[in-house]
Amino acid sequence: MEPGKGSIYDLLNGNTQYIVPVYQRKYSWLKEKQCERLWNDIVSMEKTGKRQHFVGSIVNIAETHTPMGIQKYLVIDGQQRMTTLTILMIALRDYLKAHPSEEVDPDNLTSMLLKNVTQKGENRYKMILTDTDKDILIKLVESAPIPEDEDSNIYINYLYFRDKIENAPITPYQIYESIAKLQIVSITLKREDGDDPQLIFESLNSTGMDLSQSDLIRNFLLMGLSNDEQVDVYNNYWKPVEESFPAEKRNEAMDTFFRHYLMMKSMQFVKEEDVYEGYKKYQNNAEFSNAKEFAEDIFNFGKCYTEMFYASSPYPELNVVFSDISKLKMDVQFPFLMYVYYDFKNDKLSQDDFKCILRMTEAYIVRRAICEIPTNSLNKTFITMKRSINYSDYLNSIKMAFIKLDSYKEFPADAKFKADFLEKNVYKMRIANYLLVKLENHDNKEPIPFEGFTIEHIMPQNKDLNPEWRAALGENWEEIHNSYLHRIGNLTLTKYNTEMSDKPFSEKLSVFQESATHILNKSVINQTTWNQQTMDDRAEILIGYALKVWQYPEVSDEVRAKYTEEPAEEAKSKYSLESYEVYNNDALTRMFFDKLNEAILGLHPGIKREFKKLYVAYKLKTNVVDVIMQHARLRLTVNLEFDEVNDPSGICRDVTNLGRWGNGDVEIGFDSLGKMDAALDIIKQSLAKQL
């Protein structure tokens, strides 16, 4: 680290270039705030005779020299003030060109502080900004034409300084001299000296700079790379993800995506405020060998996430389901669905099977809402559900995972769902409109969008019912009104809510007969009166549809037996994944195990998993491989004799007679996903002996 103190002239003079990295936010200083304050400081210094004024620090990373001798620096903090001073100097130069002065040469100002005049291309400029700002600053440096409607802050602030200089109470030379009195502390970091730019950046921005979680993640991902690598990773991976989120509330939406991504990867709950810290831990222990691989994974899952969230996939049938799920106004399901969607895109399940899983997830959430089961368990349910996937029987394994949920995690069965739906206060639910639309469009080949429709109470909401309604409801009309008003049997959709108001049923009936709705009003238009019995009858009909719309998972007896009896050892064992301390506390070990576990179970549908006290056994007729979890690695014991193994990669160790845990004489130290293919080849040899 090399700290220094000087003016902007000291920083820019010579063959230097300051580059604002792609991960930095665009230039955002405003003329009414920061620019006005800077201008007032300059005028005040000259009027009061002040010798210097501290304006802040600039932290940069020294890059290697180019062949032509330019020293480049990546600006990691202070880009706003440095850019503003550059804009001010351009405005001063342009004023001097129009109003020549013997005291300051505008061409000198250009060649010393704005350009490296002997260089070509982008090397020619002292400052290179991010993509959104770069071109406009270069145009100003080059005095190139700029459209009158240009609305960038750079151009707006340039015009502000031009106006201030033209009407200044001090001379251009005094302005030039005052700029030199603005003192900057420059801190230059050198990677070869072990300086950690990220730690310094976090320290500088721990207060006062409102970076979002995704801003911090972007900086962490890119900051350790060279400028060329940053541009590559940013343009090809990060920027496409960023642009897939709408500009409005983009940071908030991206923060949510990263939270779901982390929960999907780690299978652990992540608080909103802990996303960045969780991301750092994950990247430091992840399966990726470099930042580019990690960025590619973020890109792939980001694409899955946004296509689901915004119903913008290339699959029209799936978009219908994605849109329905979004109407539930819940997002706990996304860590799980993002993972399954990625598998679908990689041909691990069919589109029909994926669609079935989506509808099952939708039904699970709806049924729990109707049955008023608390939602606080849903996060954990969904982030751990991928453990249940059997890759050779994908759909059935998910169905059975839902069926086997019990207690506060249960998937309410038909009887409970129907009983609770009959008496549910549907109107007060935030998904009331969604429920009615879904019922109306069930099996409708031309679904109605229902834009402009509102919920109509057939029996009016007004507590002071007119005589006709009281007569229809009978002696206990008040009790019936209170009990049935907001139930599904009394609700429909209409565009004529205002017109119908509190009118008698006989007058409303003609409107219902002309309504665009079919299922919702089918059992209404044939009635001559509206009372408790007709509401009960209609509720039974609609809930009959509801059982089909939000179906309980169906499996054959054979499948149910397979997943309730097999693997018998795992079901009976008193141990589970949660029993292994290292699995729960070591992110790298957990990641290694989850990846290997998925791969081993995918080798053959008959492989069973058994949790032992000290290891996890994978069996067909007998043990195929046993996995011992250790800190930052797995130890695999493969059930082969050492002299029969074919090991072209040289990853096996002979542990004959060494008394190791597990079955077999072949041991593999699994400390990198780069060993996955080679390890699976050895495990397949053990499996082949039992087939």
Among 129-133, 342-346, 384-388, name the most confident range. 342-346
Reported as a single tens digit per residue, the pLDDT across 61-70 is: 887 655 567 8
Phi-psi region of 298 (alpha: psi -120 to 50; beta: other; left: phi over 0): alpha
All residues at 6 or more sequence positions from 471 whose CB lies less than 8 Å from its CB, including other chains: none
Residue 291 resides in a domain:
yes
Backbone angles phi, psi at 101, to 5 degrees: -140, 140
d(CA 629, CA 375): 33
pLDDT band at 90 (very low <50, low <70, confident <90, very high): very high
State which residues form the domain around 453: 418-549
Task: Give the C-alpha distances (Å, rounded to integers) separating 667 from 583, 653, 664, 691.
Answer: 20, 5, 8, 22
Q: What is the mean pLDDT of residues 679-691?
A: 91
- Whether 436 and 539 have beta carbons less than 8 Å apart is answered as no
Mean pLDDT of the 89-101 span: 93
Per the document, the length of the chain is: 691
Which pLDDT tens digit goes with each residue over 521-545? 888 998 999 999 999 999 999 999 9
Query: Residue 364's pLDDT is what?
Result: 97
Domain's final residue, options 204, 236, 271: 204
Q: Which of helix, strand or coil describes residue 238?
A: helix
The mean pLDDT value for 367-384 works out to 90
DSSP state for residue 550 in the 8-state scheme: T
What one-character DSSP code corresponds to residue 111? I
**Rg value, the chain, Cα:** 34
Model pLDDT, residue 411: 96
Q: What is the bridge-based pairing of β-strands 182-189 and 53-62?
A: parallel
**Distance between start and end Cα atoms, the chain:** 63
Residue 558 lies in a domain: no
Is the residue at 556 inside a domain? no
Q: Is 557 among the domain residues?
A: no
**DSSP secondary structure code for residue 144 in this structure:** -
Q: If pLDDT is split at 50, 70 and 90, which confidence band does 616 have? A: very high
- The answer to the question of residue 266 being in a domain is yes
Domain boundary among 143, 172, 204: 204
What pLDDT score was predicted for residue 587?
A: 82
Residue 284 has pLDDT above 80, yes or no: no
**Per-residue pLDDT at 285:** 62
485 within domain boundaries: yes
The sign of the CA dihedral 444, 449, 455, 458 is negative
Higher model confidence: residue 499 or residue 133?
A: 133
The C-alpha atoms of residue 339 and residue 387 are separated, in whole angstroms, by 11
At 24, the pLDDT band (50, 70, 90 cuts) reads confident
Q: What is the mean pLDDT of residues 586-596?
A: 89
Same domain assignment for residues 136 and 39: yes
Look at the block and give the residue holding tokens 């238009």: 525
Domain total for the chain? 4
Does residue 321 contact residue 340 with C-beta atoms inside 8 Å? Answer: no
Measured distance CA(429)–CA(370) in Å, rounded: 9
The helix/strand/coil state of 607 is: coil
* The predicted structure's pLDDT at residue 571: 47
Pick the range with the lowest mean pLDDT from 213-227, 350-364, 454-468. 213-227
Has residue 561 been placed in a domain? no
In a domain, 380, yes or no: yes
How far is 549 from 444, CA to CA, in rounded Å?
Answer: 12
515 in Cβ contact with 538 (< 8 Å) = no
Q: Which residue has the higher pLDDT, 64 or 389?
A: 389
**pLDDT tens digit sequence for 33-46:** 899 999 999 999 88
Q: Quote the tokens at residue 450.
A: 């229902």
Residue 501 sits in the same domain as residue 642:
no
Q: State residue 568's pLDDT score.
A: 46
Residues 169 and 288 in one domain: no
Cβ neighbors of 227 (< 8 A, separation 6 or more) are: 19, 21, 63, 72, 74
C-beta of residue 457 within 8 angstroms of C-beta of residue 491: yes
Please indicate, yes or no, whether residues 149 and 224 belong to a single structural domain of this protein.
no
Mean pLDDT highest for which of 404-418, 450-464, 645-659?
Answer: 404-418
Task: Look over the chain and give the mean of its residue pLDDT values, rounded to a whole number.
Answer: 88
Q: Are residues 63 and 123 part of one domain?
A: yes
- Last residue in a domain, options 185, 204, 223: 204
Q: What does the alpha-carbon distance between residue 629 and residue 325 come to, in Å, rounded to a whole number?
A: 38
Q: With beta carbons less than 8 A apart as the criterion, state whether 609 and 615 touch.
A: no
Give bridge partners of residue 115 from the DSSP assignment. Answer: 125
Average of pLDDT values for 446-472? 88
> Would you tell me how many other CB atoms lie within 10 Å of the CB of residue 41?
16
Closest CA to 480 of 536, 420, 406, 539: 536
What does the angle CA 199 – CA 201 – CA 206 come to, to the nearest 5 degrees? 95
Q: Are residues 162 and 225 in the same domain?
A: no
d(CA 596, CA 390) in angstroms, rounded, equals 13
| pLDDT, tens digit (0-9, with 9 covering 90-100), for 503-516 | 899 888 888 887 76
Q: In this predicted model, what pLDDT tens digit does every residue of 208-227 receive, in sequence order?
A: 345 788 888 888 888 778 77
- Tell whether 357 and 468 lie within a shared domain: no
If asked whether residues 44 and 83 sit together in one domain, one would say: yes
Instruction: Tell me how far apart the alpha carbons of residues 436 and 492 are, in angstroms, rounded to a whole number.
Output: 7
CA-CA-CA-CA dihedral for 340, 345, 351, 357, to nearest 10: 10
Helix-, strand-, coil-residue percentages of the chain, each rounded to 5: 55, 10, 35
Per-residue pLDDT for 570 more than 70?
no
CA–CA distance, 53 with 75 (Å, rounded to integer): 22
Q: Which of 134, 114, 133, 132 is nearest to 124 (CA)?
A: 114
pLDDT at 21: 85
Which string of DSSP letters, residue by residue, matches 77-92? E-HHHHHHHHHHHHHH
Query: Is it the case that residue 28 has pLDDT exceeding 90?
Result: no
Same domain, 433 and 372: no
pLDDT of residue 5: 76
Mean pLDDT of 281-298: 80
The runs of H, that is alpha helices, within 457-555 are 467-473, 477-484, 497-500, 505-513, 519-522, 532-549
Instruction: Clarify whether residues 344 and 242 are in a common domain.
Output: yes
DSSP string, 336-361: HHHHHHHHHHTTSS-HHHHHHHHHHH
Instruction: Note the pLDDT of residue 208.
Output: 39
Mean pLDDT over 78-100 rounds to 93
Tokens of 465: 């019912």
Q: How much of the chain, in percent, has pLDDT values that exceed 70?
A: 93
Burial 502-511 (b: 16+ CB within 10 A, else e): eebbeebbeb
CB contact at 8 A, 668 and 675: yes
How are beta strands 71-77 and 16-19 bridged, if at all?
parallel
Q: Do 430 and 370 fall into the same domain?
A: no
Query: Which single residue is written with the structure tokens 């206990």?
Result: 476
What pLDDT is attached to residue 46? Answer: 87
Q: Please check whether residues 366 and 441 belong to one and the same domain.
A: no
Measuring CA to CA, which residue among 80, 93, 92, 91 is closest to residue 30? 80
Query: For residues 597 and 683, is the Cβ–Cβ distance under 8 A?
Result: no
User: Between residues 8 and 361, which one has the greater pLDDT?
Assistant: 361
Question: What string of DSSP letters covers 22-39?
Answer: TTSPPP---IIIIIHHHH
